[in-house]
Structure 1
């Protein structure tokens, strides 16, 4: 009888020890998960300033559409809890059901504070709010440098990849894009001179190298029809007579009105009689670029791919 009692006591002791061990393991796992979530990394923003941000943040508010499409391409879009949903390009429409964090130029600080994000990502349009947003959560400023668009785009992609521990995926996708860029440049070198214009309710602005749409010249390799265009955010105001005078072989058109709304009845550049007299007009080389990508986005993995496909039409 005593042997039976001793055996039962021993079994109870082993069971209790096992439970204690399981509890310690669960506790240890919980601490590891907690520490993993709390881990941080130092990265540089587009101004060269170092910013301490969490790794693998679970709640991110994104104002920069290029960063949003990079996160989407890297498979970490589930972390996005807020964005300027009324200003999303069509290719990012799946994110229209996240919380509206304000306008693309004016973040809703109260709403963002309520969301309690782990990270906020902004670009030039929201730069005036950087200090206010930084008081809510770590705020990372990522923008495309017009004087070096592709390298700055790669830096932004790599920065996001580091934060989300997706560096190998990013390297692969960047390498694929660089192969496409190299192939495009070969064709662009034979395409003649190109001019990039933005049309807004019938009014034209021209953009050259070093501008917000300078990637067409600086990265994709299209020669400029006018190398004296002033590099500025809003472009150089021009007329249809100017377009005829420069006589581009390829005319790239970005319709701002279509991207944000307004009166676009006078925006069909290809139908203009003076444009029809240019080499581009005569040869069917007036290329309308996807407006929501070029005007509202850019600087991301998905948007760069779309831009490549857009300008490729000039070589067909």
Structure 2
């Protein structure tokens, strides 16, 4: 299995990417002609295609104000990082902010809508200096950009590449470059420690429980779009050896049977409970779904090697500073 490069090894690559993307350092920030607050340019790829069309990306550059005081964030990973670096969030989809990130919201934070639909009137009335979208909320970019400078911090490559780009960029915007660098160093060390643990556990299978169905997740294999990025983190970032070489071919990308879990029989099962993450009404917890006679026969069950991952961190947020530490801790729990 090809090992993920450590974050430290990515620093020069990421730095180059930031320069090429126009994400300049604070020293390169510019004040506009009217003498307003300094800004720094940020360039990203925006998908201009419709929902049922093939993706069509257009390069967009936005002049982002430095040290903005009024920020509305729709992307939970960005909200995580913004708060972890000392920023306060004035608006967000409040119903989607997990408990462990609530402390990063201003006391009078507005409810900006949902991850998929913005309350444009509420956002406009708040007069934000900056709006941040990403992932599920990326489709909101066009409408929100008419209200205030808006950036899309969706995945731009591997988990580590995107994490480093976004933490570095948001650190620059906040004037917290040193804090951002320290956070990345800490997460790098944590990921390396977690990979040392997984190197000795044998094989693993990452699964998602949705409703009463179980889906086997696969390594991203260089395709970092959406579900592939999230589903592959156990393997790509934390070094777990997949129990079979081609999970996608074996499953055809469909939910799998409990018999599949027994036939492949990984040493460890890593479980993301989508039911818990989304609060699906009437859905049973993953522990209940997997508590059956067939799963009881697996090596993972018999050796108490089923790892239930934090559902908010692994399914909803994934990619922020605090959340990445939660993910590291989930993997480290194996060796506890």
- Give TM-score, length-normalised by structure 1: 0.82
Corresponding residue to 1:162 among 168, 172, 178 = 172
In the aligned structure 1, how far is the partner of 2:191 from the partner of 2:330? 12
Corresponding residue to 1:220 among 238, 247, 254 = 238
Moved more, 253-262 or 221-230: 221-230
Distance 1:103 1:133, change over 3 A: same
Aligned residue for 1:199? 209
Confirm or deny: 8 A CA contact 1:102 1:108 kept in the other structure.
yes
Aligned residue for 1:84? 93
Deviations 1:49-70 (A, max 9, x none): 4321100111100011111111
In the aligned structure 2, how far is the partner of 1:250 from the partner of 1:41? 45
Confirm or deny: 8 A CA contact 1:120 1:137 kept in the other structure.
yes
Q: SS in structure 1 opposite 2:95?
A: helix
Do structure 1's residue 135 and structure 2's residue 146 form an aligned pair? yes
In the aligned structure 1, how far is the partner of 2:215 from the partner of 2:286? 12
Distance 1:280 1:113, change over 3 A: same
User: Structure 2: where are the runs of 5+ without partners?
Assistant: 1-30, 47-58, 221-227
Structure number with greater Rg is 1
Distance 1:36 1:273, change over 3 A: farther
Distance 1:213 1:36, change over 3 A: farther
In the aligned structure 2, how far is the partner of 1:287 from the partner of 1:112? 40
Q: How far has the Cα of 1:129 moved from its partner?
A: 1.8
Do structure 1's residue 99 and structure 2's residue 110 form an aligned pair? yes
Do structure 1's residue 118 and structure 2's residue 129 form an aligned pair? yes
State how many pairs are aligned: 277
Q: How far has the Cα of 1:264 moved from its partner?
A: 2.9
- Give TM-score, length-normalised by structure 2: 0.77
Aligned residue for 1:23? none
Corresponding residue to 2:161 among 151, 168, 176 = 151
Confirm or deny: 8 A CA contact 1:37 1:56 kept in the other structure.
no
Q: How far has the Cα of 1:182 moved from its partner?
A: 1.1
In the aligned structure 2, how far is the partner of 1:46 from the partner of 1:190? 39
Do structure 1's residue 287 and structure 2's residue 284 form an aligned pair? no
Q: How far has the Cα of 1:213 moved from its partner?
A: 2.8
Distance 1:266 1:38, change over 3 A: closer
Confirm or deny: 8 A CA contact 1:298 1:304 kept in the other structure.
yes
Aligned residue for 1:312? 332
Aligned residue for 1:247? 265
Q: How far has the Cα of 1:260 moved from its partner?
A: 1.8
Confirm or deny: 8 A CA contact 1:90 1:292 kept in the other structure.
no
Distance 1:92 1:36, change over 3 A: farther
In the aligned structure 1, how far is the partner of 2:36 from the partner of 2:101? 27
Q: How far has the Cα of 1:123 moved from its partner?
A: 0.9
Confirm or deny: 8 A CA contact 1:207 1:236 kept in the other structure.
no
In the aligned structure 1, how far is the partner of 2:35 from the partner of 2:297? 63
In the aligned structure 2, how far is the partner of 1:139 from the partner of 1:304? 24
Runs (4+) of structure 1 moved beyond 6 Å?
none
Confirm or deny: 8 A CA contact 1:88 1:296 kept in the other structure.
no
Q: CA RMSD in A?
A: 2.1
In the aligned structure 2, how far is the partner of 1:266 from the partner of 1:177? 30
Confirm or deny: 8 A CA contact 1:69 1:300 kept in the other structure.
yes
Corresponding residue to 1:263 among 277, 282, 293 = 282
Q: How far has the Cα of 1:246 moved from its partner?
A: 1.5
Aligned residue for 1:21? none
* Bigger helix share: 1
Aligned residue for 1:39? 38
